[in-house]
């Protein structure tokens, strides 16, 4: 099991949270399985940026981002070099430290 440390987020996990996930589990699925209600408006299909996270430690251990993910990330609020979509970033054996951005752009809602 891989340890994922979610840094404090005012609404989703005010105290921060440490969870464990099996290799291959996405950051989003690990968060949801542990009560961290990270938004995922496109139902994990890599079609929005609502599950955008910033991987503060362990970024290089994640699977490589696809071109589709990179294209979506270009639209994310607060994009950083270590940004990933939580629905696409699968954990390996290395511990992760993950920050959930303060804001998201809910593209699905904006387009309806």
Label residue 5 by pLDDT band (50, 70, 90).
very high
**What are the tens digits of pLDDT across the range 41-93?**
999 999 999 999 999 999 999 999 999 999 999 999 899 999 999 999 999 99
What gap in Å lies between CA 28 and CA 88, rounded to an integer? 8
Q: What is the mean pLDDT of residues 11-30?
A: 97
**pLDDT at 106 (0 to 100):** 59
Nearest residue to 86 via CA among 74, 67, 69: 69
Residues in Cβ contact with 73 at an 8 Å cutoff, skipping those fewer than 6 apart = 49, 52, 65, 79, 83, 84, 85
What's the pTM?
A: 0.91
Instruction: Give the domains, in start order, of the chain with CATH numbers.
Output: 2-105 (3.10.20.30)
What gap in Å lies between CA 84 and CA 86, rounded to an integer? 6
């Amino acid at each position: 099991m891989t340890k994922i440390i979610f840094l404090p987020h005012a609404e989703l996990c005010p105290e921060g949270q440490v969870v464990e996930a099996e290799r291959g589990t996405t950051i989003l699925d690990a968060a949801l399985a542990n009560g961290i209600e990270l938004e995922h408006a496109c139902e994990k299909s890599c079609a929005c940026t609502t599950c955008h996270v910033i991987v503060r430690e362990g970024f290089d251990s994640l699977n490589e981002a696809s071109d589709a993910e990179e294209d979506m990330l270009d639209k994310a609020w607060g994009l950083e070099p270590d940004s990933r979509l939580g629905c696409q970033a699968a954990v390996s054996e290395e511990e992760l430290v993950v920050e959930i951005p303060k804001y998201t752009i809910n593209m699905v809602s904006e387009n309806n």
